[in-house]
Structure 1
């Protein structure tokens, strides 16, 4: 089934192509409204959203409680910069620290900013606490990682499309295979400040490490006086059935990097969360952001944390994820070569004989389902946690159809 667009859609896409930098290759649909797990395009067609803006919409489009918090704050105060205090930031920091079981919160805006902040904190800790020689600190990272798009971050990526052509790159990063704790132990030396990992690699295709990997990393970091930094920007905040993906193994990292869903799908909000002996190394003037910790984002963040504190969304992700896993497993050998599921998050590897991931995403679009491909043959499924089991069933039926077609 091919996907055709009308004149309005063609006009809007043509306008984008004429004046927008081509740093994305979106599917040919123009969305104008969203509610819950569903969106509507400019032609009035409805689609079931199985991407959730890469997990930024864990609570769905226009969740009433989050929208109310944003609207109330919009009428009062939106921005002060951190040159002054505002009446929302303290409540947000308190709520997020309690949810995370940590002492301090450093608010930023985007996920990449949180990662950059985590890198600065780790290096400062390495020099000021651990005693690493000046400018010698290193951070261990995993192959297949995706932590953002800044020049520092792409410098330690091994994805050619993210990395190639943007050098020279910042030194200080040591690569090891993902899922191999022994390789991490072997890579650590007296200059190692931190190990930076995604508990589950999202952009790579929802790659889940072996059972016990995170526990082993925690032990290795503790034994060697090295910080364990968990990038939970995609995997955290209810997505995998627990508040954080590290919770799946009962592991607590030294730093959480959070973002995406923290802003409730309303606006950018990210944070680094850690105890005082780690995050306390940053002093006034050494790091900041004009919009980081703005009162509008803080008000939304408080509401998001309140919703997560109830445990409702974690339970939904667990139950619905188990339901989805059963349905997807039935497709293995029938156009699907592999499935990986963690909570309500799945990577589905498409048999090349049935098409590329992009082609499957386009066919799903024609049948009213939004998914997105990654790394050629994989599609990711990450619906809002408010989705219903019957809607998941319908979406899998559409996938089954397009694979057969």
Structure 2
């Protein structure tokens, strides 16, 4: 007797699990490339350091004897030492070249297969984006590369849901000095909006919502997110004054404490039915403008405790602008993952601690591209 077809919902669930396993596999492959690239570069740098040290030692041995320094034997020994150094350096570079070529090929194979939220903004994967039935396991933050191998761009993917907040540093100077402040600020807003859009696209419709704080811009930074408002995914009015900021932070913090206590006491079912359990993103622009000591302390607490109960934070601002708060905010800065809207070598890999250049992945059309995606998300919300 032939096996009967499984009910449609079972088939869909099985297909969803299989699809998620494939995405998890891609995530692991990306991190595998990252690790291999880091270890290969570290081995190359170690080999060059060894070759340099050996050359210095051999030359020192020859040059320390004034009588032999310029003798035929001394000059020959120097040439031999330099030839040996050149040979070691060439061998190390050949290995690095081989490893890099292999890893570049792997990235080229991976990129077309990455799902939308892990793909570049210019990827054709976005054309096929559909509201997910389950949360995506990871999303792309940008690309990483090492100065000696700029052709190897490794996707920087972050596990979802995030277990720490993001900080877009508006005071970053980049690799070639600071850009025009106005341009840097615009790019920081674009990066924040693009990351928020990715997060919204990564979760089922209605399971991820956004709050915005923008006292300096009086709400202008939230303009690209307006497609979400009618769908109820942009929660409440933008906080544009000190009182608004304090009130919003209080509401978010109260929600965190309520859910945290319910989870700790296994009493989630007892939560008020009107409490929205969707994941929340708190998007803070131009921090610390509009904050006082109390509201800054509340934000710090939200950053520390929020991820455990589905509240995530993106802070756009400059640490230098927050110096008046003294050490109050030191734990906040330490707990956030620092990103920059311009290329800067500040991301350390977790294996050999090399500084990688981070480059943000921004849509070619600026916020217009993310606005279209947010419109799709909002349209999906109205259909549910």
TM-score, length basis structure 2: 0.30
The structure showing larger relative contact order (alpha-carbon pairs under 8 Å, at least 6 residues apart) is 1
TM-score w.r.t. length of structure 1: 0.29
